[in-house]
Amino acid sequence: MAARAYWQGQIRLALVSIPVEIYTATKSGAQISFHQIHEPSGQRIKYEKVAPGVGPVEPDEIVKGYEVEKGEYVLLEQDEIDAVKLESKKTLELTQFVDMDEIDVLYFERPYFVVPADDLAEEAFIVLREALKRTRKVGLGQLAMRGREYVVSLKPCGRGMVLETLRYADEVNKAQGYFRDIPDAAPDPELLGLAESLIEKKVAKFDPKGFHDRYVDALHDLIERKKKAKGRKIIEDKDDGKESRGANVVDLMAALKKSLEKPEAKASRAVKTKLAAKAPAKKRA
């Protein structure tokens, strides 16, 4: 495997240990990187590490320090930090199993691919993978990576497994504080039916390739136009004559009906027939 393993160790389930390797499952997408420039001279701004009363310092003169009192630090070398003993640095012990849908989506952070480290580990790896599939459970444990210990989940994914780092409870805000003022009222059945029909009209199989970062495209376009403008300032016209999507909808019923009446180029005849059968006769377009 060409990629370099992000973590190497073993998964332990009771007395069974499975040597594995973990690889990052995601990568950064297209981005526009800006530098800070001193406008009068056109020179790029640079930052130097300095110590008060000393001036610029060399990288090999810098160590990590923890402030115990104001202005007083305990200094630590990197090899001292690396030597801290923690079993989860090399072993992921599965201590609990939960239903696949039991973990709130707010806790999931980052996914990693998990593969057996060698041929000898494959049999135990496959047994664990299939056991998780059959029981529809997710394994939980703790794992130390890159200077931090994470709560992690482990679940099947194709021929392999996926490990996902989870946020700790104190890292997730309580939803009640944000949702408290939303009324706990049942919606109008007719409005709800129209909304459900609109949702069904747009149902499609998820294809991640169908989405891309349009903001990056717009910035590339702006940069090209700026090059041709020879320094002239370019500001997009905010009023393009189109109705604002954020405008307040006064008549929700009329808006939902109008949305259902809009032709869908990719809508199949079967879907349209299904919608017509479900909607009341007086609501049909």
Residues 92 and 165 in one domain: yes
Using a pLDDT cut of 70, give the percent of the chain over it: 86
Tokens 């496959």 identify what position?
A: 126
CATH label of the domain that carries residue 122: 2.40.290.10
Average pLDDT over residues 204-227: 83
Residue 156, pLDDT score:
96
Residues 104 and 161 in one domain: yes
Residues 201 and 259 in one domain: yes
Average pLDDT over residues 101-124: 94
Residue 243, pLDDT score:
55
Helix (H, G, I), strand (E, B) or coil at 251: coil
Provide the number of structural domains found in the chain.
2
Average pLDDT over residues 131-151: 93
Residues 21 and 114 in one domain: yes
In a domain, residue 265? The reply is yes
* Paired residues of 20 in beta bridges: 9, 116
Domain boundaries, position 200: 186-205+250-285
Residue 272, pLDDT score:
43
Instruction: Please say whether the dihedral angle defined by the alpha carbons of residues 11, 14, 16 and 17, taken in this order, is positive or negative.
Output: positive
Residues 98 and 162 in one domain: yes
- Give the model's confidence band at 264: pLDDT under 50 very low, under 70 low, under 90 confident, else very high: low
Residues 190 and 285 in one domain: yes
Helix (H) or strand (E) holding 196: helix 189-201
- Give the model's confidence band at 211: pLDDT under 50 very low, under 70 low, under 90 confident, else very high: confident
Residues 256 and 151 in one domain: no
pTM above 0.85, yes or no: no
Q: Range with the lowest mean pLDDT among 38-47, 53-62, 68-77, 231-240? A: 231-240
pLDDT surpassing 60 at residue 5: yes
In a domain, residue 127? The reply is yes
For residues 139 and 156, the answer to whether their CB atoms sit within 8 Å is no
pLDDT tens-digit profile of 237-256? 665 555 555 445 458 878 87
- Give the model's confidence band at 273: pLDDT under 50 very low, under 70 low, under 90 confident, else very high: very low
Residue 96, pLDDT score:
94
| CB contact set of 92 (below 8 Å; sequence gap of 6+) | 9, 10, 11, 12, 20, 141, 142, 143, 152, 154, 163
Residues 201 and 158 in one domain: no
